Amino acid sequence: MTVYLLHFSEPFKHAKHYTGYTDDLPRRMQEHRRGNSARLIQVIHAAGLTWQLARTWPGAPRKFERYLKDSYKNAPKLCPICYPKNFREGPANE
Ligand SMILES: [Zn+2]
């Protein structure tokens, strides 16, 4: 199973991310693009926003998705789109 993180093009109310859990990531992404999946994604589409897959955690346990859902407001640094410098390869030079 894979836990994944979607990053929205703009914040919607206070949401800027969506976390989900799937055993078939490509199929799940298709479902999200068609808008026939999570309610939050439907609302995002209806508001004219877009999203992209920011990050995946293959093999993560379901409780990790819950942890992200519960804590994500306080831990946006897990998103490489919001905080690219946290995900730079190699040693930091500054
Ligand atoms: Zn983000």
Pick the residue with more confidence: 66 or 91? 66
Nearest Cα residue to 4 out of 43, 45, 34, 38: 38
60-85 mean pLDDT: 79
Distance from residue 81's CA to the centre of ligand 1 (Å): 5
Tokens 């999203």 belong to residue: 51
Distance from residue 41's CA to the centre of ligand 1 (Å): 15
Distance from residue 83's CA to the centre of ligand 1 (Å): 7
10-31 mean pLDDT: 92
User: pLDDT digit string (tens) for 50-67?
Assistant: 999 999 999 998 888 888
67-89 mean pLDDT: 76
pLDDT at 89 (0 to 100): 66
Distance from residue 16's CA to the centre of ligand 1 (Å): 7
Whether residue 19 contacts residue 65, with contact meaning beta carbons closer than 8 Å, is answered with yes
AA letter at 85: K
Tell me how far apart the alpha carbons of residues 20 and 3 are, in angstroms, rounded to a whole number.
6
Is it the case that residue 94 has pLDDT exceeding 50?
A: no
Pick the residue with more confidence: 2 or 83? 2
Is it the case that residue 21 has pLDDT exceeding 70?
A: yes
Can you give the pTM of this predicted structure? Answer: 0.83
Is it the case that residue 2 has pLDDT exceeding 90?
A: yes
